[in-house]
């Protein structure tokens, strides 16, 4: 049941966020971890064990963990290109058409993002920046309880637009044909059927079959997230994905059936997903409650939805829309949807959001599939400082420093002064040499 909360109760329950370091695990996760790894082994320690073994034993470790955790180990990790093409050709015409439209819109959106190289001569000589693509990127595509070809499109296409020359995809064994078809549609040639923490290990360290990459992107399970956390620094990351979340701000003119449908769409992702409505209108809140109850009866993932709604979701009654927007910004949701009469005005009051969905025809499900921006967005309140996956995630900036002699000598005196105050005499000496009119040459 979708419960109704006052603000203070909501702050202590559905709006309360724990840091990743204080992550708690369900009894089911702890039970399975003990069953597979032994008593006293936490999920973090289990992941560390997987990473270490893959780093040392490569493919042999991948096969061991795949058999233990996924109950299957393919003869070959790499999916043949012919199998990907076969999956692509087997798609129903309407699904193929939908996938093409989504891919086209995702590509077009990201092509608008500027990647400027620039230089200036106004500061003595030349200063500037050079933008270059990351050379090797690993994309993780979850298998889990539902295939997610959309996640492949949302990860791979921005990387391609950025100019990444080598993109490697990992996805759990026996991948769904739609995932292989999406990879084929994007022109990806290296897809490996390996999942979980062992896939992250393979991408971070490399094995006999799977090349080491420079950065890993894409959402995944708890073990995938813990593995990404532990390999950070060995490789770059897009972020650490927590449970997905949607927050809807609605006024009296919102359609309760649509609001309910949007909340249910979020809740069906995962039992840990959050679907929250904020509104000053109790009549709307009660109408949405009723709609949720009625619509749930016809949905295939009802048990998942019910637990998500009971444990992590709800409706918050606020005194006005402005308060709702302030709370929404404090919560900093992955998806913030504005089902209000003047969404532009309300959006200006919400600086923190992974994605802002303005108006009831710009609903979050469109963002999941086909609107254009990547649906891989910051979760857990990290939209306070992080951004959705975008082209900039796949490039790096090099500073260009080419000062002329006059500027170099003038700045050397400044650098020497600063180096002395820091007690770095070798720094100061390197600068002082440049201030001399003559230099020692052999």
306-334 residue pLDDT tens:
999 999 999 999 999 999 999 999 999 99
Same-domain pairing of 262 and 325: yes
**Distance separating alpha carbons of residues 321 and 46, to the nearest angstrom:** 46
Structure tokens of 83?
Answer: 């199998």
**3-state class of 314 per DSSP?**
strand
Res. 438: pLDDT tops 50: no
**Residues 228 and 250 grouped into a single domain:** no
Query: Does 268 fall in a domain?
Result: yes
351, part of any domain: yes
Specify whether 278 is located in the same domain as 172. Answer: no
Q: Which helix (H) or strand (E) holds 278?
A: strand 274-279
Considering the domain architecture, whether residues 215 and 269 belong to the same structural domain is answered as no
Supply the mean pLDDT for the chain: 95
Residues 6+ apart with CB under 8 A from 70: 172, 173, 195, 196
Percent of the residues in the chain that have a pLDDT greater than 90, as a whole number: 90
- Residue 111 inside a domain? The answer is yes
CA angle, corner 387, sides to 358 and 330, nearest 5?
Answer: 65
Residues 59, 139 share a domain: yes
Q: Mean of the pLDDT values across residues 367-384?
A: 96
Strand order in the sheet with 395-402: 118-120, 126-133, 395-402
Q: Do 227 and 170 belong to one domain?
A: yes
Alpha-helical runs (H) found in 218-281 = 222-231, 256-267
The residues, ordered by sequence, that sit 6+ positions from 137 with a Cβ below 8 Å of its Cβ are 159, 164, 166, 167, 168, 213, 214, 215, 216, 217, 394
Q: Which of 213, 239, 265 is the last residue of a domain?
A: 239
pLDDT for 25: 80
- Domain span including residue 425: 404-435
Element (H, E) at 430: helix 425-435
Query: Is residue 9 included in any domain, yes or no?
Result: no
Per-residue model confidence (pLDDT) at position 355: 97
Position 1 in a domain: no
The answer to whether residue 65 sits within a structural domain is: yes
Does 442 have pLDDT greater than 50?
no
Give the separation between CA 380 and CA 17, rounded to whole angstroms.
7
CA nearest 221: which of 194, 196, 184? Answer: 196
pLDDT-derived band at 19, boundaries 50, 70, 90:
confident
Mean per-residue pLDDT, 416-420: 97
For residues 391-406, average pLDDT: 97
On whether the CB atoms of residues 140 and 217 are closer than 8 A, the answer is yes
The answer to whether residues 167 and 181 belong to one domain is yes
pLDDT tier at 432, thresholds 50, 70, 90: very high
pLDDT in tens, 122-167: 999 999 999 999 999 999 999 877 789 999 999 999 999 999 999 9
pLDDT at 232 over 70: yes
Residues annotated catalytic, as ranges: 334-335
364 and 260 assigned to the same domain:
yes
Please say which residue of 207, 239, 271 terminates a domain.
239
Same domain, 258 and 345: yes
CB neighbour list of residue 69: distance below 8 Å, 6 or more residues apart: 36, 195, 196, 198
In this structure, the answer to whether residues 219 and 176 fall within a common structural domain is yes
Average the pLDDT over 163-172 and give the result.
Answer: 98
- pLDDT over threshold 90, residue 298: no
Enter the tokens of residue 187: 């022109």
Q: Are residue 343 and residue 227 in the same domain, yes or no?
A: no
The pLDDT of residue 26 is 79
Q: What is the pLDDT of residue 1?
A: 81
| The two structure tokens encoding residue 287 | 């109408």
Domains: count for the chain: 3
Rounded mean pLDDT, 71-86: 94
Residue 436: its pLDDT value, please?
79
Residue 52 lies in a domain: yes
Percent of the chain predicted with pLDDT > 70: 97
Instruction: Report the relative pairing of strands 126-133 and 118-120 from DSSP bridges.
Output: antiparallel
Helices H / strands E in the chain, number of each:
18, 14
pLDDT over 60 at 437, yes or no: no
Rg (CA), the chain: 26
* CATH number for 219: 3.40.50.1980
- Per 3-state DSSP, the chain is made up of helix, strand and coil in percentages (nearest 5) of 50, 15, 35
Residue 358 lies in a domain: yes
Is 5 in contact with 315 (CB distance < 8 Å)? yes
Contacts of 144 (CB under 8 A, 6+ apart): 172, 221
* Residue whose entry in the numeric block shows the structure tokens 């709800």: 314
Residues 319 and 258 in one domain: yes
Domain final residue, candidates 239, 257, 279: 239
User: Over the range 166-179, which residues count as b (16 or more CB within 10 Å of their CB) and which as e?
Assistant: bbbbbbbbebbbbb
136 SS3 class: strand
The pLDDT of residue 115 is 93
In this structure, the number of other CB atoms found within 10 A of the CB of residue 390 comes to 17
Give tens-digit pLDDT for 268-284: 998 889 999 999 999 99
């Amino acid at each position: 049941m979708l419960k109704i909360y006052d603000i203070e109760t909501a702050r202590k329950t559905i709006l309360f966020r724990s840091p990743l370091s204080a992550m708690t695990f369900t009894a089911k996760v702890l039970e399975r971890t003990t069953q597979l790894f032994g008593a006293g082994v936490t999920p973090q320690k289990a992941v560390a064990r997987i990473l270490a073994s893959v780093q040392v034993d490569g493919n042999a470790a991948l096969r061991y963990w795949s058999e233990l955790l996924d109950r299957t180990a393919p003869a070959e990790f790499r999916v043949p290109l012919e199998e990907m093409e076969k999956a692509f050709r087997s798609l129903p015409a309407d699904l193929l058409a939908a996938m093409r439209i989504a891919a086209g819109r995702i590509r077009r959106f990201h092509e608008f993002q500027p990647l400027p190289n620039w230089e200036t001569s106004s500061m003595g000589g030349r200063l500037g920046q050079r933008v270059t693509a990351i050379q090797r990127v690993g994309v993780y595509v979850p298998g889990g309880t539902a295939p997610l070809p959309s996640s492949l499109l949302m990860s791979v296409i921005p990387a391609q637009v950025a100019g990444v020359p080598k993109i490697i995809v990992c996805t759990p064994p026996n991948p769904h044909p739609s995932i292989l078809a999406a990879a084929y549609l994007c022109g990806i040639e290296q897809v490996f059927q390996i999942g979980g923490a062992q896939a992250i290990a393979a991408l971070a360290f490399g094995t006999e079959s799977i090349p080491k990459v420079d950065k890993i992107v894409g959402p995944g399970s708890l073990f995938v997230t813990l593995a990404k956390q532990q390999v950070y620094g060995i490789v770059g990351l897009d972020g650490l994905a927590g449970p997905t979340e949607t927050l809807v701000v609605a006024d009296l003119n919102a359609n309760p059936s649509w609001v309910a449908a949007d909340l249910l769409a979020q809740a069906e992702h995962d039992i840990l997903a959050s679907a929250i409505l904020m509104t000053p209108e109790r009549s709307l809140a009660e109408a949405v409650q009723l709609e949720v109850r009625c619509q749930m009866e016809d949905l295939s993932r009802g048990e998942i939805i019910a637990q998500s709604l009971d444990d992590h979701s709800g409706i918050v009654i606020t005194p006005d829309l402005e308060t709702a927007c302030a709370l929404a910004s404090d919560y900093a949701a992955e998806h913030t949807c504005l089902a209000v009469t003047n969404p532009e005005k309300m959006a200006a009051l919400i600086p923190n959001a992974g994605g802002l969905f303005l108006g009831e025809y710009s609903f979050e499900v469109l963002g999941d599939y086909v609107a254009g921006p990547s649906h891989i967005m910051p979760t857990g309140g990290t939209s306070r400082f992080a951004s959705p996956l975008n082209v900039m995630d796949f490039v790096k900036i090099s500073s260009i420093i080419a000062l002329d002699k006059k500027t170099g000598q003038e700045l050397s005196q400044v650098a020497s002064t600063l180096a002395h105050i820091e007690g770095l005499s070798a720094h100061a000496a390197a600068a002082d040499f440049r201030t001399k009119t003559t230099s020692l040459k052999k």
